[in-house]
Amino acid sequence: MALLEIHDVTVAYGMVEALHAITMQIQEGTITSIIGSNGAGKTTIINAISAMVPYKGSIQFDGKQLPLKSNQVVRKGIVQVPEGRKVFAGLTVEENLLVGAYTITDRKQLPQLLARQYALFPRLKERKDQDAGTLSGGEQQMLVICRALMGGPRLLMLDEPSLGLAPIIVREVFETIKQIKESGTTILLVEQNANKSLCMSDYGYVIENGRVILEGKGLALLSDSKVAEAYLGGKRKPMDCK
């Protein structure tokens, strides 16, 4: 049984349907990517999972229907890192991280949780007393990922983590995403960089106009001619995943 099962999920904004009977499965311990053009419905999918938008259909986590309140979804072990690096300016880096641990009842765990995040991104430890609003874009992205991890999620959903970042920072962020998966956290990745996301993904879905038009293993999608033409600027080079 899949960790997360989405079955015939439809989302409408007024009279406009953003998702049309979407069906997906996210296997535990994997990275699953959703790719598609702007406005295709990628973010709407993870917003539905997070109970941030109403939907028709079924979303089950670990075999049980997800609640329809966002705070309850988080307590089930599903955390979303939204697009746009939404840090809490005015709070320090460490204070931002501690906000992410609000579901942790045993406060004795906090030093260990902080140590894990600082091990992932040592730069955050160097800036732990700095106002989060003064960090660079790359550092803010590191912070929001680690803030999400402070709650110990089973499913981490990342919305466009590479958006607006310098290439060297993008590589660092993607390497860290791999580490997070290797540590046992399942990842759902919405990402504009189709090449990088499919290279690292166990499975992927291609969304167009609110519908799944293609799905398969990440590398298989990467070599698909339609995917290459629409999202990879033509033919993929074999060296791209190295």
The predicted model scores a pTM of: 0.92
Contacts of range 164-173, beta carbons closer than 8 Å, 24 or more positions apart: 164/137, 165/137, 165/138, 165/141, 166/138, 169/137, 169/138, 169/141, 170/196, 172/138, 173/138, 173/141, 173/142, 173/145
Q: How far apart are CA 32 and CA 197, in angstroms?
A: 9
pLDDT of 234: 62
Q: Which helix (H) or strand (E) holds 175?
A: helix 167-182
Give 10-63 pLDDT, tens digit per residue. Answer: 999 998 999 999 999 999 999 999 999 888 999 999 999 999 999 999 999 999
Q: Which domains can be identified in the chain, with CATH numbers? A: 1-77+154-233 (3.40.50.300), 85-152 (no CATH)
Structure tokens at 126: 């160097």
